[in-house]
Amino acid sequence: MFAMKLTLILLGALLYLVGTLGWFFWAGPDLVGTGTTEALLYAFAGTCAWGLITFGLAIHIIKQARPTAAPGR
């Protein structure tokens, strides 16, 4: 059970890292470099999506680390 959980955590971290690097070093600069209004809107939307994913991941990690703090009492 522990090996499965560790594998999923490492796989998720790897996918997040690859997605982040791919966005900020490949897709994002290419869209901004194009300079059209449509490409800039896609770049903005992609950066917003990345920020929401990062924020959600941080909240998920915090809630998993402190499961007793969630109920309120």
**Residue-wise pLDDT tens digits, 12-35:** 999 999 999 999 999 999 999 998
Amino acid letter, residue 47: T
d(CA 9, CA 5): 6
pTM of the model: 0.77
Residue 66 pLDDT greater than 90, yes or no: no
Q: What pLDDT is stored for residue 72 in this prediction?
A: 56
Residue percentage of the chain with pLDDT more than 70: 90
Q: How far apart are CA 45 and CA 69, in angstroms?
A: 33
In which residue are the tokens 């449509």 written? 38
Over 90: is that where the pLDDT of 38 sits? Answer: yes
Among 10, 34, 30, CA closest to 22:
30
